[in-house]
Structure 1
Amino acid sequence: MKNLAIIFSVLCFQFWNAQNVYLIKVEKTNDNQDKFLYRKDDTLSETIYLGEVEVQGFTKDDAGIFSLVYKKAKEIGANAFALKPFENVDGTAQPFNPANYKIALYYTPKEKWVGKDGMLYVFASSEKAQKISVNQKDYTLQPRTFIKVKIVPGEIYTVSTKKLLGSTIKVQPKDNKDNMYFQISSLKVKSDTSGNGGLNLKSGDVHGLEKSYAEFLSLIYKDDTPLK
């Protein structure tokens, strides 16, 4: 009986911690070979709505969830996404719930994507608060948050974990036409080897993020950039 109780507890734990991604609506499909999946640019008018996915259940494996969202998006030819908040009865948007949310999927012609003023993003891990510094300015990142720092071309940016045996990464952007993305983690991060979105530039507990995955994190994590 004791063994049965343990097995039942494990199964219940797995059930309540399981997260699934469902393609809940398909308005139309698009035939394209785009490998990227970026956050939708609200300034672009030539964007085609394709459908929606719904994420159900909470997990700390954000890379795994992104992989599932990516696969569903590519099934209908999407290359862009945006959060679609659930609504209250009065039509107002409900607060974001990491255990249940919807993502709208779109297609935007590649030639319509435009560069942005560059920002350096630093994401926390999904599990615990961490102290970091960016160019000797200290921050405390709460779990599932991120900060942004404006990029100045030619300037050296040093991202460091403030630990005795911590890690440091230095980068020097040549221009500010795109963003740079890093994540701080005290855990081992499993890289995505598919080439469709994952992790690279690993240096201890500072990891460079591929753009598609980073923009997904910017959707489901809270922007905690200090106000100036």
Structure 2
Amino acid sequence: MKNLAVAFSVLCVQLCYAQNVYLSKIEKTHDNKDKFLYKKAETITGAEYLGEIEVQGFSNDDAAVFSLIYKKAKEIGANTFSFKPFENINGIPQPINPANYKMALYYTPKENLAGQKGMLYIFASSDKDQKININKKDYVLTPRSYLTKDIISGEVYTISTKKLLGATIRVQAKNHDENLYFQVSSAKVKSDTSGTGGLNLKSGDIIGLERSYADFLSLIYVQNKQ
């Protein structure tokens, strides 16, 4: 009976943290072979609506959730997405709820994708506040948040986790309209070798992110104004 009770408790915990990702609507499909899945800016024109994804349930494993979203999006040939808010009874759009949200999927010709703005993105990933230092200035990242800094062409950015055995990296954008994406992690994070969304650079507890995954995090995380 004791073993049965333990097994039941484990099952309950798994159910509490289960997250379902499914295609809730398919309008049409596209046969493109694009490997990316970028967030669609409101100013983008020529995007072809393909369908919708709904995510139900909360999970702290954002990389695993994005991998599921990526696979579903590629089933219908999507290369861009946008947040599709639920509406309350008065028809007012609601802010994103990480435990239940929708994403609209599109195919957007590459030539129509908006250029980047030259921003440095730093994402948190722990369950507690994290202190970081960027070019000798201290910041605090709250859980599941991110901050951005304008990139100055030619400037080198030194990012440190301010820990005894923490990481320090120095990065420089190749041009003024290139974005740089990093995540600060207090836990050990494995690189994604599947080519579907991931993590392609690692230095201690500072991880370089591929743009598709970073775009997803910027949707479900809260921007930290500092």
Gaps of 5+ in 2: none
- Aligned counterparts of 1:17 and 1:48: Cα–Cα separation in 2: 34
Shift of 1:20: 1.2
8 A contact 2:126–2:186 mirrored in 1: no
Q: Does 1:69 align with 2:41?
A: no
Aligned to 1:95: 95
8 A contact 2:29–2:76 mirrored in 1: yes
Aligned to 1:169: 169
- Aligned counterparts of 2:192 and 2:67: Cα–Cα separation in 1: 9
Deviating beyond 3 angstroms after TM superposition, the runs of 4 or more aligned structure 1 residues are: none
**1:157-196 alignment, distance < 5 Å:** 157-196=157-196
Aligned to 1:53: 53
SS in 1 for 2:71: helix
* 2:78 maps to amino acid: A
Shift of 1:116: 2.1
Aligned to 2:20: 20
Aligned CA-pair RMSD: 1.0
1:71-122 per-residue CA deviation (whole Å, 9 max, x = no partner) reads 0100011000111111101111123211111111011001112322200000
Q: 1:126 to 1:51 in 2, by over 3 A?
A: farther
| TM score, norm. by length of structure 1 | 0.96
- Aligned counterparts of 2:203 and 2:10: Cα–Cα separation in 1: 35
8 A contact 2:50–2:78 mirrored in 1: yes
8 A contact 2:173–2:179 mirrored in 1: no
Shift of 1:225: 2.5
Q: Which moved more, 1:171-180 or 1:130-139?
A: 171-180
| TM score, norm. by length of structure 2 | 0.97
- Aligned counterparts of 1:25 and 1:126: Cα–Cα separation in 2: 33
Shift of 1:126: 4.5
Identity of aligned residues (%): 66
Q: Does 1:81 align with 2:81?
A: yes
Gaps of 5+ in 1: none
8 A contact 2:126–2:187 mirrored in 1: no
- Aligned counterparts of 1:73 and 1:215: Cα–Cα separation in 2: 14
Aligned to 1:204: 204
